[in-house]
Chain A
Amino acid sequence: MFGLFFASFVVERLHNVALFDQSQRALSPTIGMLNTLFLVSGSYFVVLAVDAAKRAARRRVIGCLALALACAVAFSIAKLFEYGDKFRHGLSPATNDFFTYYFILTGLHFLHVLIAIIVTIVLMRMSRKTDFSPRYMVILESGASYWHMVDLLWVVLFPLVYLVR
């Protein structure tokens, strides 16, 4: 689904390259870059959590998941700050086609980050009393895959929306 959204953005941009390029200048590549660092780091901590779970290292699993959670929360704070800044400057989804895409693409992705926060909290609670059964490992690895998917989408979304012109 995101692939189609990305393709749609590229095609729509070709209809009005000047508008898209000018509108893109209102975005902060620095916030986008920081958010990329938050998500790749979150993904990394999730990998470490899964690796620790294979060794039944409970405290390390919970610690790594807590760090991943902190990364997702940091992403969310930066994203809310970014949205607030846009609205303060009178930029909204109704401003033009570029900002319609900007808010839909980043908003949908942000929704997935919020779900990742809930998933991480659930995994942390489960990890407190798990016996590291195969069922727990499947749930943990599924949550980890979801995390990486959210990371993967942002790694493409960031250059597409914030950088290429």
Chain B
Amino acid sequence: MATLSAQQVATSVWVVLVVATVTTWLLARGGAASPLETVSLVMVIAAFKARLIVLHFMGLKHAPLPYRLIFECWILAVTGFTLAGCVFGIRIA
């Protein structure tokens, strides 16, 4: 399999980020899904986008594991805590 150049990887990641951003926006304004489904999808997509930026734009994909873990854990903690808070908020609303 041919190896992609750094530029091709960056362009692919950018396209995915743009599509994910527009998808998030459509999801949030669409109202087709329940609040629980919407918030879950929105935060999962946010975590996915954040990982793409960290691994491919910041170049941590091939960084030593401790450096990568710092960012991976930050993304997991922030998006996971937000999702948990929103799910709890939906239940008490």
Structural contact, B53 and A152, CB atoms closer than 8 A: yes
The chain B residues found within 8 Å of chain A, CB to CB, are 6-7, 10-11, 13-14, 17-18, 21-22, 24-25, 28-29, 35, 39, 42-43, 45-46, 49-50, 53-54, 56-58, 74-75, 77-79, 81-82, 85-86, 88-89, 92-93
Closest 10 CB pairs of A and B: A10-B85, A33-B25, A44-B14, A163-B28, A40-B17, A47-B10, A17-B89, A148-B58, A36-B21, A17-B93
A10 touching B82, Cβ below 8 Å:
yes
- Decide if A159 touches B46 in the complex (CB within 8 Å): yes
Closest to B46 in A: A159
- What are some 13 contacts across the A-B interface (CB < 8 A)? A6-B81, A13-B85, A33-B21, A33-B24, A148-B53, A152-B54, A155-B46, A155-B49, A156-B50, A159-B43, A160-B46, A163-B28, A164-B86
**Shortest beta-carbon distance from A148 to chain B in Å:** 5
Q: Would you call the interface of chain B mostly helix, strand, loop, or mixed? A: helix
| Residue from A6, A21, A29, A51 in contact with B82 in the complex, judged by beta carbons closer than 8 Å | A6
User: Given contacts A11-B85, A14-B88, is CB(A29)–CB(B93) below 8 Å?
Assistant: no
Which residue in A21, A51, A152, A164 is a CB contact (below 8 Å) of B50? A152
Q: Does A37 lie within 8 Å of B53, measured CB to CB?
A: no
Contact B24 A159 (CB under 8 A): yes
- State A40–B54 Cα separation when bound (angstroms): 12
Instruction: Report the interface size for chain A: residues with CB under 8 A from the other chain.
Output: 38
Most buried by B among A21, A36, A155, A165: A155
**Contact indicator B92/A17 (Cβ below 8 Å):** yes
Interface residues of A, Cβ cutoff 8 Å to B: 3, 6-7, 10-11, 13-14, 17-18, 21, 29-30, 32-33, 36-37, 40-41, 43-44, 46-48, 51, 145, 148-149, 151-152, 155-156, 158-160, 162-165
How many Å lie between the Cα of A48 and that of B14 in the bound state?
11
Q: From B91, which residue of chain A is reached at the shortest CB distance?
A: A17
B58/A145 in contact, CB under 8 A: yes
**Neighbour of B7 across the interface among A29, A32, A48, A165, CB < 8 A:** A48
The residues of A that contact B28 with a CB separation of less than 8 Å are 29, 159, 162-163
